[in-house]
Amino acid sequence: MPNPIPPEMSAILRLIPSVDELLATARIRGLLTAQPRWAALEAIREVLAECRRGALAGDLTPEAARALVAPAALEVAVEAAAVRKARPSLRAVINASGVVLHTNLGRAPLAEAALAAIEAAARGYSTLEFDLTTGARGSRQVHVEDLLCALTGAEAAFAVNNNAAAVFLGVNTLANGREVLISRGELVEIGDSFRIPDVMTGAGGRLREVGTTNRTHLKDYEDAVGPETALILKVHRSNFQLMGFTAEVETADLAALGKRRGLPTMEDLGSGALLDLSLFGLPREPLAADAIRAGVDLVTFSGDKLLGGPQAGIVVGRRDLVTRLRRNPLARAVRIDKLCLAGLEATLRLLRDPERARQEIPALAMLGLPSAAVGARAEALAEALRTAVPDVSCAVEDGTSEVGGGALPLASIPTRVLALRGGEGPGLLEERLRLGEPPVLVRVKEDRVLVDLRTVSPSEDAPLREALATALRAGSARRVA
């Protein structure tokens, strides 16, 4: 026989309302007009189950037991749970971190022209793979190939799902079961689970490491070339830099070696700048056009890093090799989807006019914002907060923004940040902002929460101000209480 429930516990259990009783209350009836029924019902069941667990855990004082089953408290909990269940999981956030290409926050925000193209392609049917002049099936690549060739000087181009897929497809097509030469200084991990050596071996290539971690010479590659060699690969180190006693082989020298030995060369540029970043006062990143000019056969890069477009991987280079990649059956598995393709085409069209691109592609516009312009917005925000929350402690100070996305890891972009000192400590304020609506993501430095408006669109200034005021007020209310 199971232990009988002690009488004081069953007394509490009897006080817990039923689902129907809760559904009949005014508050939950109101909730049902605002939230879907499934969310409300799931929330009620969860809250009641939690309540029963609490009652059965025992050791409740009579007051705690009454608080546990108080209808008002249950209704509040149900409402919060229902709102949480009904709201989308993938939500917009305000990125006040100052990291422009924040991989976890979706990298590059898109230009209006890209958004419009995506909406048009998504809403109805399109010329995705249809040639209007012949009335026959076409290729989805025609929408971006000429643009990519014009922007990079390459003779052929091909867009896939992302840059990891581009590297994978390149190695699989050109070196499946054979050797790929790569410098030991370039066997990098880009993020999370993306490691260049793993992608190469996953694609069927046999890694043939040359040189050392800090120094690799042309002779190292030359000595390693043998009958099994199928490809020479160069990888941009992206998120770290080698300093001190270092040597690496110039792209042009590698390309020349490939030509001498009849071997294809491929360079993974990673962030794939199409505009010279020194225009923004940043260190000059190698452009895809530079690599093509240096004679590399294939160049790959991302669509959503310094290019400022949607997720995509881009391959440009020699026509015969691009054609081989396109014919690889795996190309279908890494095909670019129509929405990204529409956004990519629109972004590339903007890039044909560098001046327009700098103004209209948000990632580039953010990188180009002068510190003083960010500072002026921060001052206005500080002023508004002082009015809205009289006991706020805030000041505008110098700071640094980051490019992010594994690009230019050491480049720090001078900026001006709003520094907030919440009396309850920066950790609690950061959490309150993150859990608010809209969620606001900030940086914490020592005792301060830093808000960098470089990565906040001016259209978000008002919701950001509201979110900051709400979080700061909640903090002061707690302190007073």
Ligand X SMILES: *Cc1c(COP(=O)(O)O)cnc(C)c1O
- Find the farthest-apart pair of alpha carbons in the chain and give their distance in angstroms, rounded: 90
Which token pair is 245? Answer: 């006693």
Q: Taking phi first (over 0 means left), then psi (-120 to 50 degrees means alpha), and beta for anything else, what does residue 357 get?
A: alpha
Query: Which residue lies nearer to ligand X by CB, 270 or 375?
Result: 270
Closest CB to ligand X among residues 94, 316? 316
Cis bond before residue 438 (omega within 30° of 0): yes
At its nearest, how many Å lie between ligand X and the CB of residue 398? 29
* Residue whose Cβ sits closest to ligand X: 270
Q: How far is the CB of 172 from ligand X (least distance, A)?
A: 15
Residue 448 is inside which H or E element, if any?
strand 448-452
DSSP designation for 158: E
Instruction: Give strand ranges (E) for 211-302.
Output: 229-235, 265-270, 298-302
Judged by beta carbon, residue 167 or residue 257, the one nearer ligand X is 167
CB of 268 to ligand X, least distance (A): 5
169 phi/psi in degrees, rounded to 5 = -65, -40
Q: Residues in the site for ligand X, rule: CB under 6 A? A: 162-164, 167, 190, 194, 235-236, 238, 268, 270-271, 302, 313, 406
Q: How far is the CB of 235 from ligand X (least distance, A)?
A: 5
The values of phi and psi at residue 400, to 5°, are: -135, 135
Least distance between ligand X and beta carbon 455 (Å): 19
Measured from the CB of residue 239, what is the shortest distance to ligand X in angstroms? 7
Q: Provide the terminal-to-terminal Cα distance of the chain, rounded to the nearest Å.
A: 49
Smallest gap from Cβ 167 to ligand X, in A, equals 6
- Of the pair 190, 288, the CB lying nearest ligand X is at 190
Residue 98 CB, shortest distance to ligand X, in Å, is: 20
Judged by beta carbon, residue 229 or residue 302, the one nearer ligand X is 302
State residue 193 phi and psi, 5-degree precision: -115, 15
Nearer to ligand X, 28 or 367 (CB): 367
| Smaller CB separation from ligand X, 205 or 426 | 205
Q: Which of 165/464 has CB closer to ligand X?
A: 165
**CA–CA–CA angle 401, 89, 35 (5° rounding):** 130
C-beta of 103: minimal distance to ligand X in Å?
7
- HSE of 389, CA atoms in CB hemisphere, 13 A: 23
Tell me the closest approach of the beta carbon of residue 209 to ligand X, in angstroms: 17
Place of tokens 């390459």: 154
Nearer to ligand X, 141 or 162 (CB): 162
Could you give the CA distance from residue 390 to residue 473 in angstroms, rounded to a whole number?
Answer: 9
| Among the listed residues 290, 293, 291, 271, the one whose alpha carbon sits nearest the alpha carbon of residue 282 | 271
For residue 178, the one-letter residue type is: R
> Which residue's entry shows tokens 């922007």?
151
Structure tokens given for 8: 């004081």
Q: Pick between residue 163 and residue 371 the one whose CB is nearest to ligand X.
A: 163
Q: Which residue has the tokens 């190939």?
A: 145
Cα distances (Å, whole numbers) of residue 7 to 10, 58, 243: 5, 11, 74
CA 298 and chain centroid, separation: 26
Which one, 264 or 405, has the nearer CB to ligand X?
Answer: 405
Token output for 166:
């581009």
Residue 403 CA neighbour count, 13 Å, CB half: 27
Q: How far is the CB of 352 from ligand X (least distance, A)?
A: 22
Locus of tokens 């991987």:
313
Here the tokens at position 174 are 């050109």
